[in-house]
């Protein structure tokens, strides 16, 4: 939970001037006692369940994809970087899959980019059997190594704070947050956009526009790094590449949607990733777009249905219905299949 001091700081800021939406989200997620610094959010018992937590097959498919690209295009020492590893489940599944190609981990310099100390402890515990000495943890990406890199993430880019704009009668407005002392609650207000830079950016955009400049900047750093030292980045997240009808910012508390103004510091706030923005950044940096597909198409293309069959044939003790349900949850178009997208960029 946000400390009283921090809540007071938000209120104070709001009393003096309105707080831009992304700054409010940033405080709620990343300040001392903010959600991502203090909570253990992932897993069936917690706020949300992610694809690696749903089925081992998710990590196995990603694993095979990484192995193939390393073997075919790198085949030497490299950085293996996971952004926001959560409970470490995805890595664990990749590590098990890589047993078919032992050279992969012998050549890997493994980096975990993790901001949450509690999750880092869980990652250390979950990776007991993997040589922890081979893993380096950092809070932020560092771009010192000159080795080629394989960078991957699941549900990482949705965490970045967004700004929201709307156009009414040819005038652009931005969402800000204000605190009402009397009613003791936060609420949003629209403020006219006057910055020429932002107005130029919004020119010809849809009437509702949500953007995370910090997300774009983070991804741009990755693209520049890959461009310079070679490599590939695979990112999976919920998101869109079509016009927005409504803003996508959402808060989740104990598996239920809530208002972003409730449970501050105790609940997850995220937004759907605007993939057009990321693709644009990759193109500007002259990277190849290897894949931009739905999670459903990615997992089917790279063999999740065959993997399921193989698991069932190999182990008659496995509960077939459970496996069917897990795969359905990941690939069904009405569940995670279409909402989640997979973007792969590279210069290999």
Q: Footprint of ligand SAM on this chain (CB under 6 A)?
A: 36, 42, 50, 52-53, 84-86, 90, 113-116, 119, 154-156, 159
Measured from the CB atom, is 140 or 194 closer to ligand SAM? 140
d(Cα 195, Cα 165) in Å, to the nearest integer? 13
Can you say how many angstroms the Cα of residue 158 is from the centroid of all Cα atoms in its chain?
5
Measured from the CB atom, is 37 or 147 closer to ligand SAM? 37
Measured from the CB atom, is 46 or 105 closer to ligand SAM? 46
**Least distance from ligand SAM to the Cβ atom of residue 336, Å:** 12
Distances, alpha carbon 110 to alpha carbons 36, 136, 176, 258, in Å: 22, 6, 40, 37
**Least distance from ligand SAM to the Cβ atom of residue 344, Å:** 16
Q: Is residue 265 within 8 Å of residue 35, measured between CB atoms?
A: yes
Residue 270 main-chain phi, psi, to 5 deg = -145, 170
**Least distance from ligand SAM to the Cβ atom of residue 79, Å:** 16
Measured from the CB atom, is 46 or 173 closer to ligand SAM? 46
Tokens of 46: 């917690």
Measured from the CB atom, is 154 or 285 closer to ligand SAM? 154
Tokens of 65: 């994809």
d(Cα 51, Cα 71) in Å, to the nearest integer? 25
**Least distance from ligand SAM to the Cβ atom of residue 49, Å:** 8
Measured from the CB atom, is 165 or 340 closer to ligand SAM? 340
**Least distance from ligand SAM to the Cβ atom of residue 159, Å:** 4
Measured from the CB atom, is 87 or 274 closer to ligand SAM? 87
**Least distance from ligand SAM to the Cβ atom of residue 315, Å:** 24
Measured from the CB atom, is 57 or 159 closer to ligand SAM? 159
d(Cα 51, Cα 55) in Å, to the nearest integer? 7
**Least distance from ligand SAM to the Cβ atom of residue 156, Å:** 5
**Least distance from ligand SAM to the Cβ atom of residue 169, Å:** 37
Beta strands in the chain (DSSP E): 19-20, 78-83, 108-113, 135-138, 149-154, 163-168, 171-180, 185-192, 208-211, 231-240, 250-253, 256-258, 268-270, 273-274, 288-294, 340-346
Measured from the CB atom, is 14 or 274 closer to ligand SAM? 274
Closest residue to ligand SAM, judged by C-beta, is 84
Distances, alpha carbon 259 to alpha carbons 92, 213, 252, in Å: 34, 23, 8
d(Cα 7, Cα 177) in Å, to the nearest integer? 13
**Least distance from ligand SAM to the Cβ atom of residue 189, Å:** 27
d(Cα 209, Cα 190) in Å, to the nearest integer? 13
d(Cα 180, Cα 133) in Å, to the nearest integer? 50
Identify the three-state secondary structure at position 136. Answer: strand
């Amino acid at each position: 939970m946000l400390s009283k001091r921090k809540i007071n700081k938000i209120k104070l800021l709001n009393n003096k001037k309105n707080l831009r939406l992304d700054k409010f989200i940033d405080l709620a997620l990343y300040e001392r006692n903010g959600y991502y610094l203090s909570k253990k959010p992932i897993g069936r018992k917690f706020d949300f369940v992610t694809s690696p937590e749903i089925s081992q097959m998710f990590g196995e498919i990603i694993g095979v994809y990484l192995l193939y690209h390393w073997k075919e295009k790198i085949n030497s020492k490299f950085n293996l970087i996971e952004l926001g590893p959560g409970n470490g489940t995805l890595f664990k599944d990749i590590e098990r899959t890589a047993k078919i190609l032992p050279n992969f981990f012998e050549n890997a310099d493994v980096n975990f980019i993790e901001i949450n100390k509690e999750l880092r402890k869980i990652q250390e515990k979950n990776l007991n059997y993997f040589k922890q000495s081979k893993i380096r943890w950092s809070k932020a990406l560092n771009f010192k190594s000159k080795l080629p890199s394989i960078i991957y993430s699941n549900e990482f880019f949705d965490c970045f704070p967004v700004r929201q704009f709307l156009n009414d009668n040819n005038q652009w407005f931005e969402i800000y947050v204000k605190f009402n002392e009397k009613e003791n609650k936060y609420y949003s207000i629209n403020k006219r956009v006057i910055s020429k830079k932002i107005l130029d950016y919004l020119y010809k955009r849809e009437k509702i526009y949500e953007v995370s400049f910090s997300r774009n900047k983070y991804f741009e750093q990755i693209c520049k790094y890959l461009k310079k030292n070679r490599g590939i980045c695979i990112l999976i997240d919920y998101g869109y590449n079509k016009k927005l009808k409504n803003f996508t910012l959402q808060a989740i508390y104990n598996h239920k949607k809530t208002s972003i103004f409730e449970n501050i510091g105790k609940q997850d706030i995220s937004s759907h990733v605007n993939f057009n923005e990321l693709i644009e950044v990759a193109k500007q940096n002259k990277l190849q777009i290897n894949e931009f597909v739905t999670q459903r198409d990615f997992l089917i293309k790279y063999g999740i249905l065959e993997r399921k069959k193989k698991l069932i044939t190999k182990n008659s003790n496995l509960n077939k219905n459970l496996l069917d349900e897990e795969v359905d949850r990941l690939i069904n178009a009405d569940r995670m299949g279409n909402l989640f997208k997979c973007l792969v960029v590279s210069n290999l």
